[in-house]
Amino acid sequence: MKKEKIGTFQRFLIWREKKIKEKQFILMLSFLVGIFTALAAFILKELIHWIEKFLTYHFNVTEANYLYLVYPVVGIFLAGLFVRHVVKDDISHGVTKILYAISRRQGRIKQHNVWSSIIASSITIGFGGSVGGEAPIVLTGSAIGSNLGSTFKMEQRTLMLLVGCGAAGAIAGIFKAPIAGLVFTLEVLMIDLTMASLLPLLISSVTAATVSYILTGTGAMFKFHLDQVFLLERIPYVIMLGIFCGLVSLYFTRAMNAVEGIFGKLKKPYQKLALGGVMLSILIFLFPPLYGEGYDTINLLLNGSSNADWDTVMNNSFFYGNGNLLLVYLLLIILTKVFASSATNGGGGCGGIFAPSLYLGCIAGFVFSHFSNQFNFASFLPEKNFALMGMAGVMSGVMHAPLTGVFLIAELTGGYDLFLPLLIVSVSSYLTIIIFEPHSIYSMRLAKKGELITHHKDKAVLTLMKVENVVEKDFVTVHPNMDLGELVKAISSSQRNIFPVTDQNGVLIGIVTLDGIRNIMFRQELYHRFNVDKLMTSIPARLYVTDNMEQVMRTFDETNAWNLPVVDEEGRYMGFVSKSKIFSSYRQVLVHFSDD
């Protein structure tokens, strides 16, 4: 029976190749990716909300609830058990994994990512983990695209495009934001924009958003009503808000990397759980708005119109009833949110930073405007408008994606009337953070390893090239104790004019060049007088097989060499790399990379 199924599918693949053109089939796959990613996003959201409501429906808003000390620890403990014993693979840093799959020019994401991130993140966030479900669903969507393409035996370039379709569909589906899904894929994942890629990405985004509308209604994710139109005289304050959001983004990025570094030094899972659990539970107990994604707080600040409304953000905490401490309370949340998010993931949970970015941005915009209004620093600044703009500002700064911030917030809230100030805040925030951080929180890990693909064509092509693919191994090796006669014999069997000298362990110790011995190589009376160790010269530089191609090209420029030897980490000779080979490979990759 199994053989018959395999045979049927193979016949279908053959029929498809004959009857359906490649471009048309890619459009069909992008449509399917849109449907599946929207369904995955819906399942994740429903699971998170169901778990959260089940656990917290009976909480008393007028006092602290001690179960806040328990739920988050249980959540990251269960998620950690699931990851270690069921998945048995690292599923954190979802967007970074997608960037890595794209940078390796393979577009292959493991099958378990189709479902594992949904389960782990719903448990983590439902029990109070202070992270978002968007990055896990982006990884899920990309895994759907990758594995759907692999099932139908698509080539690597198409797999990369389907990975992008999955990410675009995930963002469009979970936020009901088709344009943001497209822009996120182009801006954050750096999928190259061509006519061949634009249409599939659009189809996945629009399809996913449409399915989400069918499942959850046509309303925007966050309710927002513009009470006061934007006035041009507020532009200086909008720019200042953008700078403030850029600094908040910088703090968030730096602090998260620092805390993740602390967790990275802990080797045992239960050490991480203990540290993460204690940090997270205490922070949520003191500041209940840190529980889960925080979207209730965002809705409150976007729709509140008086101090009585805004003061409800302090429900369930020791601060209840102290409206005069609202700004202090919100500032403390801005400072502690990064620790709660880092503790969630570091302790064994699973989640992303989309929701924390939106959450911090909303609070930052509200604090900026409310503080200004309280102390009369400016003419009245509408808090809800600035809270909305702050969401775009922090998201743009953290992700280094100003267009994603603008379109996502506009689509999330229907706030298109504030499009100009959203643009100003996003650009100001982005320009502020790039002074200090050249890469986003997603890409900095890959950038440090030289594995990040970018929109810069030359750098992108170099990223896609690997040293091991351009090593030439047809050089005849010689040894230091060989005499000139043996060396001449080796030369006669080679087409090259460079001869690597290695010791008995294969470690490269020098080279002999044909030009260096040309004046004595035909004098037979000298054949037994000179040994290779007297004739060899030092190497201008060594390339390591682990070097990225940018480092290789930099070494060639510094040495002005035409050929350089490649060694492994122990210094053992592997072969030579020549400029001509690199240029030839570069042209091939560039043609493939640029082909529409």
In this predicted model, what pLDDT tens digit does every residue of 28-77 receive, in sequence order? Answer: 999 999 999 999 999 999 999 999 999 887 777 677 778 888 999 999 99
- Report if residue 203 sits inside a domain: yes
DSSP 564: E
Per-residue pLDDT of 309-337, as tens digits, reads 888 888 877 777 777 888 999 999 999 99
**Most confident region among 41-50, 185-194, 318-327, 451-460 by mean pLDDT:** 41-50
Bigger pLDDT: 489 vs 189: 489
CB 109 within 8 A of CB 101: yes
CA 32 from centroid of its chain's CA atoms: 24
Is a pLDDT exceeding 60 seen at residue 456?
A: no
Region of 324 (left: φ > 0; alpha: ψ -120 to 50; beta: rest) is alpha
Q: For the residues 444-451, what does the mean pLDDT come to? A: 54
Q: What's 537's domain CATH number?
A: 3.10.580.10
Taking each helix axis from N to C end, the angle separating 235-264 and 354-374, rounded to the nearest 10 degrees, works out to: 140
pLDDT at 465: 61
Give me the long-range contacts of 47-52 (CB less than 8 A, separation at least 24): 47/118, 47/122, 47/126, 48/121, 48/122, 48/125, 48/126, 48/133, 48/292, 48/293, 49/126, 50/126, 51/122, 51/123, 51/125, 51/126, 51/127, 52/125, 52/126, 52/128, 52/291, 52/292
Least confident range of 386-395, 451-460, 542-551? 451-460
Is a pLDDT exceeding 60 seen at residue 395?
A: yes
Q: For the residues 355-368, what does the mean pLDDT come to? A: 94
Quick one: tokens of 506? 């294969």
Closest CA to 419 of 441, 398, 392: 392
pLDDT at 369: 93
- Report if residue 438 sits inside a domain: no
What distance in Å separates the CA atoms of residue 446 and residue 57, rounded to the nearest whole number? Answer: 42
- Report if residue 394 sits inside a domain: no
55 CB-near residues (< 8 Å, 6+ apart):
67, 71, 126, 127, 128
CA distances from 204 to 28, 102, 143, 216, 228 (A): 10, 18, 14, 18, 35
Give the number of other Cβ atoms within 10 Å of residue 216's Cβ.
16
CA distances from 162 to 12, 208, 393 (A): 20, 14, 29
Domain of residue 580: give its range: 460-594
CB 549 within 8 A of CB 448: no
CA quadruple 291, 295, 296, 300: dihedral positive or negative? positive
Confidence of residue 5 (pLDDT cuts 50, 70, 90): very low
Give φ, ψ of 575 to 5 degrees. Answer: 155, -165
Q: What is the overall mean pLDDT for the chain?
A: 84
Confidence of residue 95 (pLDDT cuts 50, 70, 90): confident
Q: For the residues 515-532, what does the mean pLDDT come to? A: 82
Domain boundary among 169, 187, 216: 216
Closest CA to 307 of 289, 287, 323: 323
Confidence of residue 89 (pLDDT cuts 50, 70, 90): confident
Domain boundary among 186, 216, 246: 216
Give the number of other Cβ atoms within 10 Å of residue 268's Cβ.
8
- Report if residue 447 sits inside a domain: no
Q: What's 201's domain CATH number?
A: 1.10.3080.10
Pairing between strand 573-578 and 563-567? Answer: antiparallel
Number of H helices and number of E strands within the chain?
A: 25, 5
pLDDT at 535: 86
Q: For the residues 189-193, what does the mean pLDDT come to? A: 66
Bridge partners (DSSP) of residue 501 are 478, 510
Q: For the residues 93-103, what does the mean pLDDT come to? A: 68
Is a pLDDT exceeding 60 seen at residue 593?
A: no
Is a pLDDT exceeding 80 seen at residue 453?
A: no
pLDDT at 59: 78
pLDDT at 38: 96
Bigger pLDDT: 54 vs 593: 54
Q: What percent of the chain has pLDDT over 90?
A: 35
What is the count of structural domains for the chain? Answer: 2
- Report if residue 429 sits inside a domain: no
Confidence of residue 484 (pLDDT cuts 50, 70, 90): confident
CA 499 from centroid of its chain's CA atoms: 44
Quick one: tokens of 425? 């805040």
Per-residue pLDDT of 234-266, as tens digits, reads 899 999 999 999 999 999 999 998 998 899 888
Is a pLDDT exceeding 70 seen at residue 464?
A: no
Bridge partners (DSSP) of residue 548 are 466
pLDDT at 517: 84
Taking each helix axis from N to C end, the angle separating 383-399 and 295-303, rounded to the nearest 10 degrees, works out to: 140
- Report if residue 80 sits inside a domain: yes
Quick one: tokens of 153? 């035996």
**Most confident region among 249-258, 298-307, 457-466 by mean pLDDT:** 249-258
- Report if residue 511 sits inside a domain: yes
CB 460 within 8 A of CB 453: yes
Q: What percent of the chain has pLDDT over 70?
A: 89
Bigger pLDDT: 106 vs 144: 144
Per-residue pLDDT of 107-142, as tens digits, reads 678 888 899 999 999 999 999 999 988 888 999 999
Quick one: tokens of 360? 């911090």
Q: For the residues 21-30, what does the mean pLDDT come to? A: 89
Give φ, ψ of 77 to 5 degrees. Answer: -65, -45
Least confident range of 392-396, 425-429, 499-503? 499-503
Is a pLDDT exceeding 70 seen at residue 152?
A: yes
Per-residue pLDDT of 205-236, as tens digits, reads 999 999 999 999 888 788 787 778 888 888 99
Q: For the residues 415-439, what does the mean pLDDT come to? A: 90
Closest CA to 365 of 384, 337, 379, 341: 384
CA quadruple 294, 298, 299, 301: dihedral positive or negative? positive
Give the type of residue at 526: L
- Report if residue 297 sits inside a domain: no
Closest CA to 431 of 460, 461, 405, 464: 405
Is a pLDDT exceeding 80 seen at residue 501?
A: yes
Domain boundary among 192, 216, 240: 216
Confidence of residue 472 (pLDDT cuts 50, 70, 90): confident
